[in-house]
Amino acid sequence: MAAVNEQRAALGEPQLPPGERSGPALGRASVTAVRSAVDVGQEPRRDALRAATRFLLDTLAERAPGRAVEVRIPPYAAVQCVAGPRHTRGTPPNVIETDPLTWLDLATGRLDWATAVSGGKLRVSGPRADVSDYLPLLRLRPRRAP
């Protein structure tokens, strides 16, 4: 919560209201705060970006349960998702990897899968390494610069 409030303060916004200080509401607030920072040209706060990344990855894992695909967003987090053959040791055969801001764009519908892959922003390997059917995870309206 502190990371989200710090990001909101950098945007000139008030602290989170009490009803948004835990669970999914806090996750959505972290995504909104980071997305707003990027929209106005601010560098997102590291801890807020970590929280947003983790929330969006956890949301993907909930929507696409399984262990056939590993989605990596270094340096913050990785999850296994998508039903299918389970991977247990070594490098998984189905891997998706990108940076946190590209993940934020994909997960919020600001960037489509094909554009991210063709532009080299998203690295995918393996026959099941396509989670585009589950995206976007959360839609946000662009914030207008002050």
* List of residues 6+ apart from 18 with CB closer than 8 A: none
Q: How far from each other are the two terminal CA atoms of the chain, in whole angstroms?
A: 25
For helices 2-10 and 23-39, angle between their N-to-C axes, nearest 10 degrees: 30
pTM listed for this prediction: 0.90
Class at the top of the CATH hierarchy for domain 2-134 = alpha beta
Q: Is the preceding omega at residue 146 within 30 degrees of 0, hence cis?
A: no
Q: Residue 50 in contact with residue 73, Cβ under 8 Å?
A: no
Residue-level pLDDT at 132: 97
Asked whether the predicted pLDDT for residue 144 surpasses 90, the reply is: no
Which residue matches tokens 């706060």? 45
Domain boundaries, the chain: 2-134
Q: What is the mean pLDDT of residues 108-114?
A: 96
What pLDDT band is residue 101 in, cutting at 50, 70 and 90? very high
What pLDDT band is residue 141 in, cutting at 50, 70 and 90? low
Q: Residue 3 in contact with residue 50, Cβ under 8 Å?
A: yes
Q: pLDDT tens digit string along 29-57?
A: 999 999 999 999 999 999 999 999 999 99
Residue-level pLDDT at 20: 81
- Mean pLDDT (the chain) is 92
Residue 121: exposed, middle, or buried by beta-carbon count in 10 A (0-12, 13-18, 19+)? Answer: middle
What pLDDT band is residue 22 in, cutting at 50, 70 and 90? confident
